[in-house]
Structure 1
């Protein structure tokens, strides 16, 4: 697993822009995913979390725990206790909702098409893996506290 590294001020200012671009790309490719032309892969770290969310075999020290948390943060985004800029987040959510609405009206009978194409099942698998990743991260945070590890993120 990747070890976490200190985030520079420049990287912090680029994170919201990168997230905005990622969301825009997700919205734009939604119709292709709905008909099964484009598939999203479940990241391997989430597959491992889904397989065994409470495994502690590879958690011999604090660095290993931090590395596992960093790998999960890379695919799940920031944990719940990381401060967020609320004003920009609210405006971004409104823009995202508007974009999704426009794109989702392109495909008639979208729900039925998603079920037939397998896109809905694929999304359910991804969401289940994300839930397992969140559970794994919570387990790792608890282990960090129990072992009195210094939090690095």
Structure 2
């Protein structure tokens, strides 16, 4: 890589991190440890490591709870008690993030999203014929599988919340 290119990538990532921090309205509660700064660093790292994943040198690890959800989304085996249901929902929340809550106000960080899109555009332009490379290296099928297990995890969490409600459970998750 040329030094000019490295400077461009570094500037894009710096722009993404600084603009994402400049939210007009902070969220009511941080959704992740480290708050907004932790989320910004995580997003910048994800963008920066995308080319490595594209060529198949790195894969995202799939949490076992999501593989379990993918393999048997609507099973209640071993989840007869309210505590067991709540623990399973907590485990899913830990990997999926917080669940949808009625009444939460939606706010978007437009500057952060623009910076993120710019950073992705710069980083993703590194690999010519990126789509073909991703298919050949197995990165695209891995991403499709990751999307499928996340979808299954979301479906399982919703299902378990329904079972929890139906059983009249009062345990918190």
Q: Does TM, scored on the shorter chain, surpass 0.5? A: yes
CA-to-aligned-CA distance 1:74-95 (integer Å, 9 cap, x gap): 111121227366144x443333
User: Which protein has the larger Cα radius of gyration, Structure 1 or Structure 2?
Assistant: 2
Distance 2:166 2:105 in 1: 27
Alpha-carbon distance in 1 for matches of 2:171, 2:134: 41
Q: TM-score, normalised by structure 1?
A: 0.83
Contiguous gaps of at least 5 residues in structure 2: 1-28
Partner of 1:39: 59
Q: Whole-Å Cα distance in 2 between the matches of residues 11 and 128 of structure 1?
A: 23
Instruction: Give 1:16 shift.
Output: 3.2
Aligned residues: CA RMSD: 2.2
Structure 1 consecutive aligned stretches of length 4 or more whose deviation exceeds 4 Å: 9-13
Q: Which residue of 2 aligns with 1:86?
A: 107
Counterpart for residue 105 of structure 1: 125
Give a deviation string over 1:39-85, Cα, whole Å, max 9, x none: 11211000000010111012121221111111111111121227366
Could you say if the C-alpha distance between residues 65 and 17 of structure 1 is closer, same or farther in structure 2, counting changes exceeding 3 Å?
farther
Aligned counterpart in structure 1 of residue 154 of structure 2, from 128, 134, 139: 134
Using the size of structure 2 for normalisation, the TM-score is 0.74
Aligned equivalents of 1:81, 1:10: Cα separation in 2: 15
- Following superposition, the deviation at residue 151 of structure 1 comes to 5.7
- Partner residue, 2:78: 58
Gaps of 5+ in 1: 1-8
